[in-house]
Amino acid sequence: MNEVVKQMVEKGEMLPLMEEFYTIQGEGFHKGTAAYFVRIGGCDVGCHWCDVKESWNANLHPPTETTKIVAAAKSYSNTIVVTGGEPLTWDMTALTTQLKAEGLQTHIETSGAYKLTGIWDWICLSPKKMKLPTKEVYDHAHELKMIIYNKDDFRFAEEQAAKVNDDCILYLQPEWSKRDKVVPEIVDYVMKHPKWKVSLQTHKYLNIP
């Protein structure tokens, strides 16, 4: 990476773009909504059950000018979901400023482990035990999406729910490979603790990206 490109990446004017695609949001509050996904490479949180581990190494994904990302995104949808990897590894200011200038809705899916940058209409916070969110992300999250892999994750979910703002919507979502085992446990838990809602990866049931 030459020095000019490196500086642009540091400023968020270029981002390591892994993939971009138009699909249906499958999870959480906006499930069923047509959205354009921008997947940014780079993540050191290290979830063992991550289903996009190829996103972890940012060096595998070409630095792409945010102007090009925005130009592609606006031709598909009014709702743009920035995901990863961990998008807050990078400065999201330039990307989201341009998206908002085009009148687009900006959504982010993040572990919250890094400084909150960017202008967001919707923040989906999915905390991980290995690297906890910053207070700022807890304070601004619109939805809390807790992935349930084992019974200890219910404890962790309650611990995280105590830290988010009062308006944050609370979701429990089964880890896909464990869904047959944990879905009944989640259903039972939500019925006993109705502040929570169930989130499913409906895009996987629909067999779409």
pLDDT single digits (tens) 129-149: 999 999 999 999 999 999 999
Give the predicted TM-score (pTM) of the model: 0.95
Q: Is position 128 annotated in a ligand binding site?
A: yes
Confidence of residue 209 (pLDDT cuts 50, 70, 90): confident
Q: Is position 83 annotated in a ligand binding site?
A: yes
Q: Is position 126 annotated in a ligand binding site?
A: yes
Share of the chain above pLDDT 90, in %: 85
Q: Is position 209 annotated in a ligand binding site?
A: yes
Total domain count, the chain: 1
Q: Using N-to-C axis directions, what is the helix angle for 93-101 and 66-74, rounded to 10°?
A: 40
Q: Is position 39 annotated in a ligand binding site?
A: yes
Q: Dihedral sign, CA of 160, 161, 163, 164?
A: positive
- Indicate the pairing of strand 14-24 with strand 63-65: antiparallel
Q: Is position 49 annotated in a ligand binding site?
A: yes
Q: Is position 41 annotated in a ligand binding site?
A: no
Q: Is position 110 annotated in a ligand binding site?
A: no
Domain coverage including residue 59:
3-205
Q: What is the CATH number of the domain that holds 79?
A: 3.20.20.70
Q: Is position 124 annotated in a ligand binding site?
A: no
Contact 95, 66 (CB under 8 A): yes
Q: Is position 43 annotated in a ligand binding site?
A: yes
Q: List, for residues 9-63, the tens digit of each pLDDT value.
A: 999 999 999 999 999 999 999 999 999 999 999 998 888 778 788 888 888 899 9
